[in-house]
Structures are given as structure tokens and as C-alpha cells.
Amino acid sequence: MRQPLPSLTGGVGGWSFKYFPHTEEDLQEMLNACGVSSVHDLFADVPEAARFKREYNLPQALSETDLRLFFEQLTHPLSTQQLICFAGAGCYDHYAPSVVQNIIERSEFLTSYTPYQAEISQGTLHYIFEYQSMIAELTGLDISNASMYDGATATAEAMMMAWGNAKKATRVLVSETLDPKVRRVVDTYAHFHGVPLQLIPAKNGALDREALDKELAEGGVAGVIVQQPNYFGIVEDYTGIAEVVHEQKGIFVINANPSDLAILKTPGEWGADVAVGEGQSLGIPMTFGGPGVGFMACTEKLIRKMPGRIVGQTLDNRGQRAFVLTLQAREQHIRRQKATSNICSNQSLMALYVTIYLSLMGKEGLREVAEMSYAGAHSLCDKLLTTGKFRLTFPGQPFFNEFCVDYDGDIDALLDEATEYGYLAGVKVGEKTLMLAVTEQRTPEEIEELCEILDKANH
């Protein structure tokens, strides 16, 4: 486990600090108002002998993550220790700057419902517009809506878009490597809307391309839904799928992990028409599984098939930048049976959370998160394989920050023992299969300790 850094003697480099809002010009203006030339003149009445002139005995600066850990260790065992999380399967333990929680509570952002009256909802409309812009850039597509309930319903809505856009189609194809939780929601939507679904099997943890090509060759396909990285953490190669789907006037849908898109090829680059997914990985706390936020982006030609609403930018009567609800189907309110979707509201608070997180992290921050997660997962995988107790479930398949290993012993007992040591050591996805995930939150020390615990376990 990590230990707090030792206290070091550090000096004060001057009167300007990055966490103070005053510029040098601000300071000089205040000094002029006081009639003094420097800050030191303000303390002229303090006797020289009483002034502190030595260096302050301050500890070395800590990152926010290390500082949180330091105080957690101070309070342990007075408080309940949170498990160190190596579980994923659609919900990931990512870091989020503490300032996010404070910003989302500002009055111009925090509202209870959808902003129908633009003149009094500029703050809400503004951040939704920025959210849409960021999601469109992350996915490489033209348009994003104002967010969805979660990734599962967003995927189901994409399925409905594909079916509604088709004229003579007979089915929608769904990859078996799509998250089972998402598949169940898609199945429910399809059942009550009369949409025939066909499951395309997996082969060595990835979509069976031969089976897919065979179905596409038979025709009548309204759309194809896949996941990237897929449920097992594998980064799949979707080269050429979009072109074949488009020849049949179908829609290619990719369910993506947005955090990974800082490095991975975007849905737009794969030729996807629609990108959907769960936005929880963009800094939203795990909070026992929810709430999250669904995102949806598409090409411009599908804009009127997209559920929800779109916020746009315009100019007011004074020529100033303003935001309005640009596109919203009236049928969603007054002719529900004719609506493309009956989702009318969005997870606005969670969309705000994602917007602030992305603004603070920036492109470089997102890339660093992805790189650290990738490196940590591959380090953990290598160490587990060297124990001789684990083997890759899908050998030869590339993975990002999540992977599956087979274990011949009792996985339930293994997980229970890891829990006793303070580790949530993955998700059981098969009788002998364990799936582990690593994010930038996990340290080399934690990875090493988890491997030692699993190696010594005798189950």
C-alpha cells in the first residue's frame, strides 16, 4: 500500500500562488490604495525581532488523489475502509477533481427540470450545448443530443432509430459481445415495439465476422449493433462493416466507452452512423451502480430520427451569444404514439457533471487517464499470468483496460478472500472466468499486492 510522503522543509517562493485569484496588477492596485509600495510595508509596525524569518516546515506537495489517501489513512480504522476496486463490467472507478461537485451546485446550472424557457435557462442550455459539442468531438460524429437516461436505454433507442429508418428490413443484428445488461434492455424495447432481433455469435471473445458477413449477405438488415471495447474488454476490428451495412441502407451502431476514445479509433472513424454508450467513465462516481448518463451522437442525416432534444447556439436581439432548444419533436409531448421516442427528459445533472469533468481534464488529461489505465491493466495481466494460476480466456486478443482470465479454483471463494484484504478483485463472468479492470486510480503497489493475495489464495 502507498504511504504518505515524508514531511520536507519547503520555502515560500513569494506572495503569488496559483490558487490565489489576484494578479500582480491586482496586488499593486490594492497596495496603491493603501498608500504603501509593498506587502511587507503593511507589517512595518511589527518589531523586527518578532518576525518569523525561517523556512516553513511544510510537507512536500501532494496530488489531490494522494491527499485524499493521506486523510483516509488518518481516519482508518475509525471509518469504514472502501474496497480498492479492480471491478468494471460497465462501471469504473475513475478519478474526478473535487471541484466538480462544487461547480454543479451553482444556481445557474443546478435546476430541477428541462429548460423550456430559454430566457431564464441560459446556464442550463449553455452547459448542454458544451456537452453536446464535447460528445460529438469524442465520438467523431456530427450531432449529439442533450443526453439520455443511461447507456442501455441509449443503445435501445439507437436500435429503434435503425428500425424506424429502414423500409424493407426484416431484423436488426446485435453482437453477442455487447454487454448482457445492455442486451436485456434492447431485447425489452424490441419485444414491445415488434422489432425482430438476431444475435450474432462471438468467436474467441470477439464478433464472429463470418457469421456477420453471412447474415449481411442475405439482406434485410436494418442495423448492426456492436460494442467497443466489447464486454470482455477486447478491442475489436470493425473494418469494412460500415460499408456493407450502408449498401443495404442500414445503420451501423457502436456502443463505446467514452473514456477510452481519447486513444482508440472513434465510432466516426469506423464509419458508424450512431454512437451510444454509458458516460459514467467520464468522472461520474460509481455510487453503487448509478446514476450514470447515456450519450448519443449521430451523422447529420439522422438528426431528425434522434430521440430527445438538441440545444443550439444563436444570437439574441443585442447580438450576444445565446442558447435555445433547437430541435425537439412535438410528437413526444402531444402525439406519443407517433413519436420517434418517448424519452423527453435527459439526465441533465449527470450531463453537467460530465461537461465539467471534460472541461477540467482536457484532451491531454483524458489521454493520460487512458494511457495509465491501459498500462495498469497490462501490468496486472502479466503479473497474474506469471503466478501460473491464471490464463487468458481469449488468448491473442488485444484489450484496453479490462481483460478476462480463467481460474480452475473456486472464484467465489477467491473474491471473498480478496475482499477480506480490502480488494474488490474483479467480476465473475463465468463459472471459471474472472474479469478485471484497471483505471488510473490503481497504483503499482496496489496491483502488486492484489497479485500477491490472489497468488497465495488456496481455493
**Residues contacting 144, CB < 8 A, separation 6+:** 131, 132, 133, 135, 136, 295, 296, 297, 310
What is the pLDDT at residue 334? 58
Q: What are phi and psi of 309, to 5 degrees?
A: -145, 165
Whether 349 shows a pLDDT value over 60: the answer reads: yes
Q: What are phi and psi of 8, to 5 degrees?
A: -125, 150
Whether 13 shows a pLDDT value over 80: the answer reads: no
3-state DSSP assignment of residue 372: helix
Among 114, 149, 103, 146, residue whose Cα is nearest residue 356: 103
Instruction: State mean pLDDT over 259-270.
Output: 96
Q: Is the peptide bond preceding residue 395 cis, with omega within 30 degrees of 0?
A: no
pLDDT tens per residue across span 23-82? 888 989 999 999 998 888 888 899 988 988 888 888 888 888 888 878 877 776 655 567
- Match domain 99-357 to its CATH number in 2.40.50.140, 3.40.640.10, 3.40.250.10, 1.20.1420.30: 3.40.640.10
Name, of 25-34, 318-327, 339-348, 389-398, the range with top average pLDDT.
389-398
Whether 337 shows a pLDDT value over 70: the answer reads: no
pLDDT tens per residue across span 210-233? 999 999 999 999 999 999 999 999
What is the pLDDT at residue 325? 85
What is the pLDDT at residue 65? 82
What is residue 248's DSSP assignment? Answer: T
Domain at 84-96+364-456: CATH architecture? Alpha-Beta Complex (3.90)
What is the pLDDT at residue 140? 97
What is the pLDDT at residue 6? 34
Helix (H) or strand (E) holding 376: helix 348-386
What is the pLDDT at residue 112? 54
Question: Which stretch of 69-78, 178-187, 302-311 has the lowest confidence by average pLDDT?
Answer: 69-78
- In the block, cell 490594492 appears at 30
Full strand arrangement of the beta sheet holding 294-298: 143-144, 294-298, 274-278, 251-256, 221-228, 171-175, 197-200
Instruction: State mean pLDDT over 4-9.
Output: 32
What is residue 324's DSSP assignment? Answer: E
Question: Which stretch of 74-83, 97-106, 227-236, 306-315 has the lowest confidence by average pLDDT?
Answer: 74-83
Name, of 29-38, 102-111, 227-236, 350-359, the range with top average pLDDT.
227-236
Is 328:337 a contact under the CB 8 Å cutoff?
A: no
Query: What average pLDDT does the chain have?
Result: 88
C-alpha cell at 155: 443503445
What is the pLDDT at residue 152? 95
Confidence of residue 333 (pLDDT cuts 50, 70, 90): low
The vertex-191 CA angle with 300 and 186, nearest 5°, equals 50
Q: Where are the domains of the chain?
A: 1-61, 84-96+364-456, 99-357
- In the block, cell 471463494 appears at 413
Torsion, Cα of 56, 60, 63, 64 (10° steps) = -40
Question: Which stretch of 112-116, 212-216, 354-358 has the lowest confidence by average pLDDT?
Answer: 112-116
* DSSP state string for 51-88: S--SPP--PPP--HHHHHHHHHHHHTTTSPPPPEE---
Whether 312 shows a pLDDT value over 70: the answer reads: yes
Q: How far apart are CA 295 and CA 290, in angstroms?
A: 15
Among 179, 188, 180, residue whose Cα is nearest residue 227: 179
Confidence of residue 429 (pLDDT cuts 50, 70, 90): very high
Is 153:159 a contact under the CB 8 Å cutoff?
A: no
Confidence of residue 257 (pLDDT cuts 50, 70, 90): very high
Whether 331 shows a pLDDT value over 60: the answer reads: no
Residue 374 to residues 263, 368, 383, 390, 442: CA-CA distances in angstroms?
10, 10, 14, 19, 11
Tell me which of 165 and 377 has the higher pLDDT.
Answer: 377
* High-pLDDT (> 90) share of the chain, %: 65
What is the pLDDT at residue 330? 53
Burial class (CB in 10 A: 0-12, 13-18, 19+), 98: exposed
* High-pLDDT (> 70) share of the chain, %: 88
Please count the CA atoms within 13 angstroms of the CA of 205 that sit on its side-chain side. Answer: 26
What is the pLDDT at residue 149? 87
Instruction: State mean pLDDT over 334-359.
Output: 74
Q: How far apart are CA 6 and CA 200, in angstroms?
A: 56
What is the pLDDT at residue 459? 67
* DSSP state string for 132-147: HHHHHHHHT-SEE-S-
Burial class (CB in 10 A: 0-12, 13-18, 19+), 459: middle
Residue 170 to residues 167, 185, 194, 250: CA-CA distances in angstroms?
9, 20, 11, 11
Q: How far apart are CA 76 and CA 66, in angstroms?
A: 15
What is the pLDDT at residue 9? 31
Instruction: State mean pLDDT over 340-353.
Output: 70
Q: How far apart are CA 420 and CA 261, in angstroms?
A: 35
Confidence of residue 4 (pLDDT cuts 50, 70, 90): very low
Whole-model pTM? 0.84
Among 398, 401, 396, residue whose Cα is nearest residue 371: 401
